[in-house]
Amino acid sequence: MQLRLLISVISTFSLFGNEVYALWPIPRTLQTGTSFVKLSPDFGITVNVNNPPQDLLDAVSRTKAYIQTDKLQRLTVGRGANDSSAIRSAPMLAELRVSLNSGSTVRPIADESVRPLAQRVEGYSLTVPSNGSAAVLTANSTLGLFRGLTTFQQLWYDLSGVTYSYQVPVVISNDTPAFPYRGFMLDTARNFFPVDDIKRTFDAMSLVKINTFHWHIVDSHSFPLQVDQFPEVSQQGAYSSDEVYTPVDIQDIVSYAGERGIDVLVEIDTPGHTAAIASSHPEHIACNQASPWGNFANEPPAGQLRLASAATTQFIASLISSVAKTLPSTLFSTGGDEINSNCYAKDAQTQSDLSASGRTLEQALNVFTQATHKSLTDLGKSPVVWEEMVLSHNVTLPASTVVLVWISSANAASVARKGFKLVHAPSDYFYLDCGAGEWIGNTVGATSWCDPFKSWQKAYTFDPYANIPSSQRSLVLGGQQLLWTEQSSPENLDSIVWPRAATSAEVFWTGATLPDGTPRNGNTALPRLHDIRYRMVNRGIEAIALQPHWCALRPGACNS
């Protein structure tokens, strides 16, 4: 009797076999079966939550719409035609029941999405029976329910108008992310991206459980951010009056993101990367448009804030505060990368300010940084900085500061040794713009500084704990992929980002091991990444192909 029971269990459930649901990111716990179930024409999602917030109800409506319209056929030879007999005899699933666990606080998804990282609750449990009885989704927060809904969406395929799932029963128990921060950064200053492009990016991010949009909104090239208290900065610093983000746009973007489980982390990079401010406030910018630019900046145009000036320090602290107070996120980035010391050495005003104060440049930078960060901590926000502020400069930073490691993945260990929380954003793994050749003119045959192209395979091998001792691993918050846009615009946004950016979503949600305990590996990842890419395309996201369609239909056939 016990042997027959054991055989029955094994035939009903498989622990992440070779052919598994194309879920991305793969849940940290997952059991699947071998049966089929199809959705009833009257399928509904029942929300058993007291006074459910509107954004949860909206998420449920979107989930039903996606399931009805994705129409994704299985990526197999015949596109699922061999499933037809099993589908005809399969039981019908009529309902998904959604509820919060007892004792959970009911908050809007948007509110949960911007809670401090340590307090953010994203886990969920999901079961889909094989006998047609109701599927069940539970969580401890509405944000967790939202994450579970995105997983549920990925279970379904279409054959001749019938929506079905082919590996039930499904049991996912307390699928929680390995890391709280899973991000994507977009630079909207070098080239402008309309609001609709950003929203479409959020749709793709939420599908793969990316929860942070790092918005590098301004830079030396343009200042498209309208600030009510400083209207002149964007009026004169944006490319045009049509290429700006108004306060209404910002709130629209933040709201759209929050409803999709995404926190918007805005960056106003200082003191470098600020030449665009010279159009309205030349008194605050050193070496504006200085030539040759290579002596004064890492890329044209040259120009950075006169950090030794008390007036400049007050100006930028007020500007940052004016923006930060309008945003719900607890994080705000002040940048701090690529400060050019030669610029300040050649700037007479800066040298005069240093002489008058009796400070060195590093001491002035410390005063400047403490002022800008105080404008954030006074609002209850934590500053975010690039790694140079910790590794290259001697400045005092609040204990809550989050450090973005970008120059090299090898530098993360040095940041951790200094006791700072960190986010992996290394150019050697996660820079999506690398490999397109040098964008500076008159450079025939030159390559980009961060060549080669960062393939999804490279990103997928990333180890967040490399060279970081166990005693410091709690400092690692997660990671993000980044798109600097010297050679990107709305025309190639989707294709350069997706599906590559989804790789880090799994690295930082699933962690180092798959549900069966084996190490995460590219061979089992590729069929699932194909699947999520095709699903994105069906939703209007122009994600680029990873292989010929022939290979996508034959998992493993195009491996070496």
Whether 101 has a pLDDT exceeding 70, the answer reads: yes
Categorize the per-residue pLDDT at 11 as very low, low, confident or very high, splitting at 50, 70 and 90: very low
**What is the model's pLDDT at position 22?**
87
Question: Pick from 366, 360, 477: which is nearest to 416 by CA?
Answer: 477
User: Is residue 533 scored above 50 in pLDDT?
Assistant: yes
Portions of the chain given CATH number 3.30.379.10? 2-175
Residues above pLDDT 70, as percent of the chain = 96
Q: What is the mean pLDDT of the chain?
A: 95
Percent of the chain's residues with pLDDT above 90: 95
pLDDT score for 560 = 87
pLDDT tens figures, 277-288:
999 999 999 999
Predicted local confidence at residue 445, as pLDDT: 87
Q: What is the mean pLDDT of residues 401-412?
A: 98
Residue with tokens 């029971």: 5
| 19 has a pLDDT exceeding 60 | no
Whole-number pLDDT of residue 5: 33
CATH 3.20.20.80 intervals, the chain: 189-510
pLDDT tens for each residue of 167-179: 999 999 999 999 9
Closest CA to 181 of 144, 224, 210: 210
**Residue 299 annotated as catalytic:** no
Annotated catalytic residue, options 19, 95, 243, 338 = 338
Mean pLDDT of 457-471: 98
Give kind and range of the element (H or E) at residue 149. helix 142-153
Task: Indicate the SS3 state at residue 183.
Answer: strand
Condensed to tens digits (0 to 9), the pLDDT of residues 37-72 reads 999 999 999 999 999 999 999 999 999 999 999 999
Average pLDDT over residues 269-275: 98
> What is the C-alpha separation between 552 and 560, in angstroms, rounded?
15
Give per-residue pLDDT as tens, 301-335: 999 999 999 999 999 999 999 999 999 999 999 99
Using the predicted structure, report yes or no on whether residue 10 has a pLDDT greater than 50: no
pLDDT at residue 1 tops 70 = no
CATH 3.40.50.800 fits 2-175, yes or no: no
Q: Are 384 and 407 in contact (CB under 8 A)?
A: no
Q: How far apart are CA 321 and CA 334, in angstroms?
A: 11
- Token duo for residue 30: 């997952």
Give the homologous superfamily in CATH for domain 189-510: Glycosidases (3.20.20.80)
- Whether pLDDT at 18 is above 80: no
Q: Which residues pair with 124 in a beta bridge?
A: 139, 175
- List the end-to-end C-alpha distance of the chain, in Å, as a whole number: 45
Distance separating alpha carbons of residues 164 and 73, to the nearest angstrom = 10
pLDDT over 70 at 17, yes or no: no
CB 275 within 8 A of CB 298: no
Query: Rounded CA gap, 88 and 74, in Å?
Result: 16
